[in-house]
Amino acid sequence: MRDVFKHLGWFFKQEYKKYILAGIALLILAGTSVIPARVLGLVIEEIANRTISVNKLIIYGLLLLIIPISRYLVNIVYHYTIHFLGQKVSYELREKYISHLFDLDAVTYSKYTKGDLISRATNDLQVLTVVATTFLQTVVFNSGIVIFSISIMIFTIDPLLTLVSVIIMPIAIFFLNKVRLKKRRYYKYHHEIYADMTEKVLESIEGVKTVRAYGEEENDFKKTKAAIDADVNSWRKILKFESAFTPLFEFIYAFTYFCAFAFGSYMVITSKISTGDLLTFIMYIGMLYGPLIALSNVLNTINTATIADGRYNEIMEIVPEVKDNSESLPVLSFNKIEFKNVSFKYPFDEVEVIKNINLEINKGETIGIVGPTGSGKSTLIRQLLREFNVTSGEVLIDGVDIKKYKIEDVHGLVGYVPQSHILFRKTVDENILVGNPSANDSDMETAFQIADFKKDIKELAYGRETIVGELGNSLSGGQKQRLSIARALVKNPEILILDDSLSAVDALTETNIINNLRESRQGKTNIIVAHRFSAITKCDKIIVLENGKITDIGTHQELLKHDNWYKMQYIEQLESK
């Protein structure tokens, strides 16, 4: 728990005045909650002794009226303060988490699933919010009631009766919670099951169209249900334990009640305490049950909070391998990019995807990249996106290692259109502006024109104000690709990368886009990864990759002069038309 408070220390320091206010309010609430029992005891005692008067009744009545009104006003202050703190800590923790996720490199996203990352930002973060807010109430308020009640029992009734009645409760609770702590490992395991369930549900929702297309609804439902059942069964194990375990606290309380009543009755008979004192004492024993049970659950909360804090900070403490430093250089343009003996394997793979690549890309060139499936085409060009550091070799921009440039500037050079097109549940215009938020209407019109998307806008229900749906599900495959291309073009990048981004468009549309790129992007660099050779025949240079290695480089005509993979594949594509 020390680590939990250490990690939340910045917030406690930031809002210490409000925490002091909340703490004072809780102490007032705890103190005033024990007064009515003592007042009622005094009234009963005076009635039994026939010493009560009208004036005393009025005083006691006013006191019993003032206390709840005061508690009501203090409660308003407390709840406003604690809810303010809860909302603020939740917002700031989530903001820090999301901001940190944007700083992380692709290594993290290769290691952790979406469901796992989401569960840490929801379930685990909620636990930390509880620690920073209502945990204060559990500890301060309930401890206050216990301390005030026992103090009154000792100093105004009888210390021996208090000792006999109460001593067993903290001892028994301590040993019972030692048993509960043994469940800590399973609680952590439950968090992992919950993360797996979240990931499966997300996967099912995102892939619903594909699942339906292949008639796999029943199988997918079974898998999703299995993940949900695993989570439910995990909770059931915890609930079974808690259901069997929690009544033990009631048993301890019942035994305490018996001791108090038996020994208290004896003390009344022997005239060591009055009947009013005994009734007051019994009321205080009753008041102790709730706070002591709440305090007994503190260790359980600490256990859950420790796990949640570990999971949350596991992500927050990740230091990305790809990052800027104080000496990082700006880069806004370039003349030449060089790959020198570049090899790369993904962090969790054993085999290199690209091997000993040597390549030059000059400003203004249009480069085509082709090769068999799995030959490393996408991996090669993604080295320009600074997602990972290369395994060996160097990627140089104007003779300087790409690692020495600011990541944001390197990203600014590149407009990347991936194979899988991620569109947002926004309008067409809003999706375009993701590429360049400062783009004006003319910039967007130009991007639509080059991407050959203008004709599609006329067919959309509300034109450019049409909501494209989550992941672009209201658009066809070709429309998604062309809208993604337009989003990259509105950025007017120095390097445009089309990573097999024309596969869903027809031959005429592909020709229109390629011609538009040649006319509009003169002097800027284009890199086109393609399976259809029609998209790259007019490139200044074509790179052929096979098994992660460059086997040929040349123009279309130069490559056709030799018997090689390129020529064989080109002839095969011609014959298949």
Check residues 185 and 338 and name the one with the higher pLDDT.
Answer: 338
State the average pLDDT for the chain: 85
CB contact at 8 A, 292 and 281: no
What order do you get walking across the sheet with 392-397 strand by strand? 354-362, 336-344, 392-397, 400-401
Asked if 335 and 358 touch (Cβ cutoff 8 Å), the reply is: no
pLDDT tens string 278-313: 888 888 887 777 787 777 677 677 778 888 888 889
Is residue 570 over pLDDT 80?
yes
Average pLDDT over residues 87-100: 91
What per-residue confidence (pLDDT) applies to 528? 92
- 397 phi and psi, to 5 degrees? -115, 115
The single-letter code of the amino acid at 530 is A
Average confidence (pLDDT) over 515-520: 89
Confidence class for position 577, pLDDT limits 50, 70, 90: low
Position 446 scores a pLDDT of 92
- The predicted pLDDT at position 478 comes to 83
Q: Show the domains of the chain with their CATH numbers.
A: 2-316 (1.20.1560.10), 336-575 (3.40.50.300)
Cβ atoms of 343 and 393 closer than 8 Å: yes
- Do the Cβ atoms of 447 and 490 come closer than 8 Å? yes
Residue 404 confidence (pLDDT) above 70: yes
**DSSP conformational letter for 387:** S
Six token digits for residue 367 = 């480069």
pLDDT exceeds 80 at position 552: yes
Beta-carbon neighbour count of residue 297 at 10 Å? Answer: 18
C-alpha–C-alpha distance, residues 149 and 142, integer Å? 10
Return the structure tokens found at 496. 């445009």
Question: Using one digit for the tens of pLDDT, what is the confidence trace for 433-489?
Answer: 988 899 999 999 999 999 988 888 888 888 889 888 777 777 888 888 889 999 999
Q: Is the dihedral of CA 195, 201, 202, 207 positive or negative?
A: positive
Residues 475-501: tens digit of each pLDDT: 888 888 889 999 999 999 999 999 888
3-state secondary structure labels for all residues of 193-246: HHHHHHHHHHHHHHCHHHHHHCCCHHHHHHHHHHHHHHHHHHHHHHHHHHHHHC
Residue pLDDT, tens place only, 152-188: 888 888 888 888 877 777 777 767 766 666 665 666 6
How far is the C-alpha of 8 from the C-alpha of 93, rounded, in Å?
9
Helix 168-181 × helix 298-316 angle, to 10°: 40
Provide the pLDDT for residue 402: 92
Secondary structure in 3-state letters for 292-324? HHHHHCHHHHHHHHHHHHHHHHHHHCCCCCCCC
Write down the pLDDT at residue 188.
Answer: 66
User: CB of 478 within 8 A of CB of 508?
Assistant: no
Asked whether residue 239 carries a pLDDT value surpassing 70, the answer given is yes
pLDDT of residue 526: 93
Residue type, 79: H
Say yes or no to pLDDT of 317 above 70: yes
- Position 59 pLDDT exceeds 80: yes
3-state DSSP assignment of residue 473: coil
Phi, psi of 109 (to 5 degrees): -75, -15
Q: How confident is the model at residue 232 (pLDDT cuts 50, 70, 90)?
A: confident
Q: How far apart are CA 516 and CA 510, in angstroms?
A: 10
Quick: pLDDT tens for 346-400.
Answer: 887 888 999 999 999 999 999 999 999 889 998 999 899 888 889 999 999 999 9
> With 80 as the cut, is the pLDDT of residue 429 above it?
yes
Encoded tokens for 255: 């035994």
Q: Give residue 185's pLDDT.
A: 63
At 205 the pLDDT is 75
Q: What is the pLDDT of residue 169?
A: 75
Helices (H), 50-158: 54-103, 106-111, 114-119, 125-132, 134-136, 142-152
Identify the pLDDT of residue 343. Answer: 94
How does residue 133 score in pLDDT terms, banded at 50, 70 and 90? confident
Helix/strand/coil percentages in the chain, nearest 5: 65, 10, 25
